[in-house]
Amino acid sequence: MAKKKVVVLIKSNPFSWKVFEALRLAVGASMEHKMHVVFIKDGVYSLTDWKPQLIGIEPFDKSIEALGMMGAEIIAEEEAIRERGLILKKWPAEIKVMPKDDIAELIKDSEVVLSW
Amino acid sequence: MNLLIIMASNPYSHDFNTVVKLIEASLKRNHKTKIFFMANGEYCLLREEIKNLHEKGLEVYYCAHNAEQRKIKPESWAESSSMYGLAKLMTEADKVLIFD
């Protein structure tokens, strides 16, 4: 069975377990499919240098590193970062900052879109 | 059609009601219908509605790691799986929906 083009779209803020679970799903699925993890809207807060341990959430540096090693593409929405005046942390995998229109194109071409 | 639903939302959310109705309609149209519970969706395994739907033909899978985290022991009619198992289910599915 063919690999699918999958987008995990993270739009909610990281201050619950949702982003952690979304990334765990993305790591599992990237073993079988072409994976794109896209942070938009408040999801971009996940990529700043915040301290998840302070609210009892496991850090997800390992998931980001694993995604990088498995060739998954990690994307952050340029406008959302600028609107919020954020600085992204240095992660163990490349984070591509992409404008909204390019993200829309990526989603349009995907076979599975999982939004969190 | 092969429909896969990923349920990460808790059983007292509006999503649960939507999922139950959607599965009933899907089974009525003889679609091969599968559901994968993860995160707080694991608590849905404790609801009678899911067992009844299983008896009507719904295939039920769940993330064993998340169940363990929540000290949930699903009955044997639900199949233990993982994130990699979910990736396999996604390969076979024609449509994938997620409720988070």
Question: How big is the CA angle at A76 (ends A71 and A82), to the nearest 5 degrees?
Answer: 155
pTM over 0.90: yes
Could you tell me the pLDDT band of residue A1, with boundaries at 50, 70 and 90? low
Please choose, from the candidates A23, A83, A30, A93, the residue with its C-alpha nearest in 3D space to the C-alpha of residue A58: A23
Across B18-43, average pLDDT: 97
Q: Strand pairing partners for A55? A: none
Q: What CATH topology corresponds to A5-115?
A: Hypothetical Protein Ychn; Chain: A, (3.40.1260)
Count of pairs with CB atoms under 8 A, one residue in A, one in B: 55
* Domain boundaries of chain A, sorted by first residue: 5-115
CB neighbours of A50 closer than 8 A, spacing ≥ 6?
Answer: A14
Selected residue of A6, A57, A112 to mutate for chain B interface (largest B Cβ count, 10 A): A112
Q: Please check whether the domain covering B2-99 is classified as CATH 3.30.390.50.
A: no
Cβ contact B80:B74 at 8 Å: yes
B86 vs A1, A22, A25: nearest CB? A25
Query: How far is C-alpha A101 from the chain's CA centre?
Result: 17
Average pLDDT, chain A: 95
pLDDT computed for residue B40 by the predictor: 94
**What value of ipTM does the predicted structure carry?**
0.89
Helices (H), A30-95: 61-69, 78-84
> If DSSP codes are grouped into helix, strand and coil, which group holds residue B30?
coil
* Domain boundaries of chain B, sorted by first residue: 2-99
The span from the CA of A10 to the CA of A88, in Å, is: 16
B83 touches chain A (CB under 8 A): yes
Q: Is the pLDDT of residue B47 over 70?
A: yes
Task: Compute CA distances A95 → A33, A73, A76, A90, A116, whole Å.
Answer: 19, 8, 7, 9, 19
